[in-house]
Structure 1
Amino acid sequence: MTILYDYKESLYINLTNKCPCSCVFCIRKETDYVGNSSSLWLNHEPSVDEIKNEFNKFDLSKYDEVVFCGYGEPLMRINEVIEVAKYIRSISNIKIRVNTNGLADLIHGKKTAKLLKDNIDAISISLNAPNKIKYNEVTKPKFGEKSFDALLDFAIDCKKYIGKVNFSVVDEISEEEIEQSKELANKMNIPLRVRHKN
């Protein structure tokens, strides 16, 4: 069972396989691993202690950052994310980032960005589309229509409480939709990264 894995210059934390979305381009549908990791499918959700113990196997000075991102939505387990982030802070000054679908407020039924304040240095939100119709089409969120607006609200909160926020889209959408996504991101003053599926 892979809890921590490295990819490029970062160390990734695989906390959960649960996710409220079923994105059409989700890597989980095509492969069980990323980079040189073994399977990222978990046989159980690791406890905070299990995750802390895994850190004993890695030299954090070798990495640029630690990223909460595995085969699920890390903020499904927001309390564990915070606890693990506090632990990382206690042993290192490495940067800590969360890769998220931005739906934590809907998952938990409350505002969540404020909870990440002081524990997370940066957050990357999968925007995936320039509008709610296209978003629902490519992301298939279980919360339906309200998901896209909730994501945008969460991004605004993250700017306030975390500071370093960026959006991403995958080049599975059209050039025109990528341009529209850039316009939306510019309007919100949040940088946008275009990710290549392969």
Structure 2
Amino acid sequence: MTLAPQSASTSTKSINDPVTDPASKNMSSTLVYDIRNSRYLNITGRCTLRCQFCPKHNGSKQVHEYQLDLNHQPKAEEIIPLLGDVENFDEYVFCGYGEPTLNLDTLLTIAKEIKHRGGYVRVNTDGLGNLFHRRNILPELAVCVDALSISLNADTEQAYIEHCRPKLKNAYQSVSEFIRLAPGYIKNVQVSAIDGLEGVDIAACREFVETSGAEFKHRMLGVVG
């Protein structure tokens, strides 16, 4: 997911420079940042989970050299001028230290603009967007999202609650259903689980994901971004 922040401007920036917002004199928000040849879009600090393994719950809001703490919830008009040339990036990824579907209108507006310019859009999500919004948001995402990366992280509800500490009831059932539904709407769906979490059966996670028609991604505890 996740240099000293620099103020956003209309001047030309290096592809590897973080793009920030000068709303606060004390702390600027990194709204756009680059890892390898992907441009990441940091659109919310809110989340539906409190994962015990997440760096932000362990004293850090940094990924690589980027500080991803936000001092406000960005709107589409703040992000769109910072997209750059789509030809310079393999993909645009909605991913920060929050759950991007919680800022859904902003996500959809930006994603549609990227698609209009010919870019490729991926959303990193905890798969709880349907539960949070109380509707199936996959048809809305399907209009402008090429790929989903969904975090599962557990093969049982007990392990999910222990490690991911969801804020919403029935979260494990909801993410499981989201994973089953997603391949029917989005062509490229990848679902991850983290090896190293106590009581999690990685083989069982893989079997569930592949049976659902998605690709499984085997992640290792402590490796971010």
- Would the TM-score normalized by the shorter structure come out above 0.5? yes
What is the CA–CA distance in structure 2 between the aligned matches of 1:150 and 1:183, rounded to whole Å?
A: 18
The one-letter code sitting in structure 2 at the alignment partner of 1:31 is S
122, 134, 140: which one aligns with 2:165: 140
Query: Which residue does 1:50 correspond to in 2?
Result: 78
- The structural deviation recorded for 1:113 is 0.8
Query: Does the 8 Å contact 2:39/2:91 carry over to 1?
Result: yes
The one-letter code sitting in structure 1 at the alignment partner of 2:81 is N
Select the structure that is richer in helix: 1
CA displacement 1:26-85 (0-9 Å, x = unmatched): 122342221232x21111111111111222xx3432221100000100000111111000
105, 114, 130: which one aligns with 1:88: 114
Structure showing greater radius of gyration is 2
- The structural deviation recorded for 1:148 is 1.2
Query: Does the 8 Å contact 2:155/2:202 carry over to 1?
Result: yes
Please tell me whether residue 183 in structure 1 is matched to residue 207 in structure 2: yes
CA displacement 1:125-176 (0-9 Å, x = unmatched): 10110111111111110113x1111112112222111121111012232586
Change (3 A) 1:40 1:123: same
Q: Describe the SS at the equivalent of 1:4.
A: strand
RMSD: 1.6
- The structural deviation recorded for 1:118 is 2.1
Query: Which residue does 1:13 correspond to in 2?
Result: 41
Q: Describe the SS at the equivalent of 1:3.
A: strand
State the TM-score, normalizing by the size of structure 1: 0.91
Change (3 A) 1:33 1:99: same
Query: Which residue does 2:186 correspond to in 1?
Result: 162
What is the CA–CA distance in structure 2 between the aligned matches of 1:114 and 1:41, rounded to whole Å?
A: 30
What is the CA–CA distance in structure 2 between the aligned matches of 1:172 and 1:13, rounded to whole Å?
A: 28
95, 98, 106: which one aligns with 1:69: 95
Q: Describe the SS at the equivalent of 1:129.
A: coil
Please tell me whether residue 104 in structure 1 is matched to residue 109 in structure 2: no
Which range is displaced more, 75-84 or 28-37? 28-37
105, 116, 132: which one aligns with 1:79: 105
Q: Describe the SS at the equivalent of 1:134.
A: helix
Change (3 A) 1:170 1:64: same
What is the CA–CA distance in structure 1 between the aligned matches of 2:45 and 2:132, rounded to whole Å?
A: 15
Change (3 A) 1:140 1:175: closer
Unaligned 5+ segments in structure 2 are 1-28
Query: Which residue does 2:19 correspond to in 1?
Result: none
Which range is displaced more, 150-159 or 24-33? 24-33
Percent identical? 33
Q: Describe the SS at the equivalent of 1:87.
A: helix
Change (3 A) 1:132 1:175: closer
Change (3 A) 1:177 1:89: same
Alignment coverage as a number of residue pairs: 193
Which range is displaced more, 180-189 or 114-123? 180-189
Runs of 4+ in 1 over 6 A off after TM superposition: none
Query: Does the 8 Å contact 1:129/1:181 carry over to 2?
Result: yes
Query: Which residue does 1:173 correspond to in 2?
Result: 197
Query: Does the 8 Å contact 1:6/1:35 carry over to 2?
Result: no
Q: Describe the SS at the equivalent of 2:191.
A: strand
Which range is displaced more, 10-19 or 172-181? 172-181
Please tell me whether residue 116 in structure 1 is matched to residue 144 in structure 2: no
The one-letter code sitting in structure 2 at the alignment partner of 1:94 is G
Query: Which residue does 2:24 correspond to in 1?
Result: none
